[in-house]
Structure 1
Amino acid sequence: MQNGLYVAVSAQVALERRMETIADNMANMNTVGYRATGVSFAAEMAKAGETNLDYASSGSDYLSRRIGGLTKTDNPLDFAVQGDGWFGIQTPRGTAYTRDGRVRIDEQGTLRTLSGDPLLDAGGAPILVDSAAGPLTVSADGMISQNGRQVGAIGLFAIDADANLKRAENSGVAPDNPARPILDFTRDGVVQGAVESSNVDPVREMTRLIDVSRAFDGVAAEASQSESSLQDAIKALGSSS
């Protein structure tokens, strides 16, 4: 008799988690390089007497790799990725990868993200330039030049499609499989004077929000009906005894 209540509660837990990811995505829709969070669900089977019940799992988070749009800024220290590559950054927790290529040059000439993490070259080392040698010119293969002289290169990295991604600093990700340097720039490259916007689709997220709200209302009504049926059964059993 109470099986319906248990199933309804599991559905409400799953819907609450989906609602939280939608709220997080909407809050970051204007965050440069942000990757939207999605939730995948699976039915979990349970045996209740002679009956098999389908419970909704609490869900597993994943980060969308859909590419965001490019916005031209004309700032020579703004960089975006053309293709599927990632910039490498050195964070206090280790190497992470980001699509947010906004950088600054510190007093020692190190290229750092706006949050202070060093930007890395293809070998995983911080990039040093001459802070007094004039503006940087960066080509599609990441090569950095100052006054016509090559001074370094911005690394681009490929992350395996089956790697699990966790959030890291600077709108970045930390894969469970090591990323590898990109050496072929036919499809991937660096765009100077531009940034990549968040890949959150606000219209899609609003549609999902409406769907989740309606589903939550439906599950709540089903739970209320199951509870009423249980109370009616208890009353019926009490009056017949």
Structure 2
Amino acid sequence: MTDTLQALGRQLGTDVDTLASISRNVANLQTPGYRAERMSGDFATRAGLAALPDQRNGSLAQTGRSLDLALRGPGFFVVERQGQQLLARSGSFRLDADGSLVTQHGDQVLGQSGPISIDARRLTADMPLRVQADGQLWAGQEALGQLQVVAVAEPLQLRSMGNGAYRYDGLPGQWQGSVVQGAVEQANVDPADEMLRLMELTRHVDAVRRAMSTYDQMLDAGINKIGEN
């Protein structure tokens, strides 16, 4: 009997985690570069589920701004926050007071040879910043560095660190995508899909509730029968 109650309790715990995932997705519909969460089996966790970031592309919003960069294909920019390397999908960058390329939240954007710095005085109407599909940065004919973009071989090892950045402790993958300049990637959340997930979750919770009610009635009937004897 205890096993049955524990199983039903685990199901409810799983439903709570799934609802939290749907809520986060809906709350971030307008967050550039946000990766929608999908619950996936992970027996290393108590509930046997973990939030898996969706690797599909989000739609592009054209901005024409030279420091707005979007990735196509599974992959992440590499950034640094307080000495820790993290991964980020949103490429809405800016230059700070020292000329360092940073995210909107201040994380430093890393290139193949370390942090990327750009002397804004080099950029003119005749020599604008140009970013190639492979992440190479140019000012006219002068190379400024190359963005470090990586893929992940074990998406379940991604852990959100806030402000659109992830810690990754898994094996690296080979990035085979491209960089698009002058555009920002939108969240890859599908509102219709989230509504469908919510409807399915509601039905599942109701089924678990009925099962618990039936089980409670069986226990009550059993206890009464024992009392009669």
Q: Give the TM interval when normalised to the shorter protein.
A: 0.7 to 0.9
Q: Is the 8 A contact 1:121 1:155 kept in 2?
A: yes
- Following superposition, the deviation at residue 78 of structure 1 comes to 0.4
SS in 1 for 2:223: helix
Amino acid at match of 1:5: L
1:33-58 C-alpha deviation (Å, 9 max, x unpaired)? 11122222489xxxxxxxxxxxx945
Moved more, 149-158 or 103-112: 149-158
Moved more, 147-156 or 207-216: 147-156
CA distance in structure 1 between the aligned counterparts of 2:72 and 2:89, rounded to whole angstroms = 10
The equivalent of 1:48 in structure 2 is none
Q: Of residues 186, 199, 209 in structure 1, which corresponds to 2:188?
A: 199
CA distance in structure 2 between the aligned counterparts of 1:163 and 1:224, rounded to whole angstroms = 35
SS in 1 for 2:30: coil
Amino acid at match of 2:5: L
- Following superposition, the deviation at residue 24 of structure 1 comes to 1.1
The equivalent of 1:143 in structure 2 is 136
Q: Does the alignment pair 1:153 with 2:143? A: no
Q: 1:2 to 1:228 in 2, by over 3 A?
A: farther
Q: Is the 8 A contact 2:158 2:166 kept in 1?
A: yes
The equivalent of 1:217 in structure 2 is 206
CA distance in structure 2 between the aligned counterparts of 1:30 and 1:139, rounded to whole angstroms = 27
Q: Does the alignment pair 1:122 with 2:112? A: yes
- Structure 2: gaps of 5 or more residues: none
CA distance in structure 2 between the aligned counterparts of 1:114 and 1:143, rounded to whole angstroms = 21
1:48-84 C-alpha deviation (Å, 9 max, x unpaired)? xxxxxxxx94523322222222221111110011222
Q: 1:28 to 1:93 in 2, by over 3 A?
A: farther
CA distance in structure 1 between the aligned counterparts of 2:215 and 2:77, rounded to whole angstroms = 53
- Following superposition, the deviation at residue 147 of structure 1 comes to 4.4
- Structure 1: gaps of 5 or more residues: 44-55
TM-score, normalised with respect to structure 2: 0.86
Amino acid at match of 2:184: V
Q: 1:10 to 1:71 in 2, by over 3 A?
A: same
CA distance in structure 1 between the aligned counterparts of 2:4 and 2:154, rounded to whole angstroms = 39
> Based on CA coordinates, which of the two structures has the bigger radius of gyration?
1
- Following superposition, the deviation at residue 161 of structure 1 comes to 4.6
SS in 2 for 1:101: coil
- Following superposition, the deviation at residue 170 of structure 1 comes to 3.6
CA distance in structure 2 between the aligned counterparts of 1:158 and 1:6, rounded to whole angstroms = 39
The equivalent of 2:225 in structure 1 is 236
SS in 2 for 1:108: coil
CA distance in structure 2 between the aligned counterparts of 1:230 and 1:137, rounded to whole angstroms = 71
Q: 1:10 to 1:151 in 2, by over 3 A?
A: closer
TM-score, normalised with respect to structure 1: 0.82
Q: 1:162 to 1:103 in 2, by over 3 A?
A: closer
Question: 4+ residue stretches of structure 1 with deviation over 4 A?
Answer: none
- Following superposition, the deviation at residue 180 of structure 1 comes to 6.7
> What is the aligned-residue identity percentage?
30
Q: Does the alignment pair 1:36 with 2:36? A: yes
CA distance in structure 1 between the aligned counterparts of 2:155 and 2:21, rounded to whole angstroms = 22
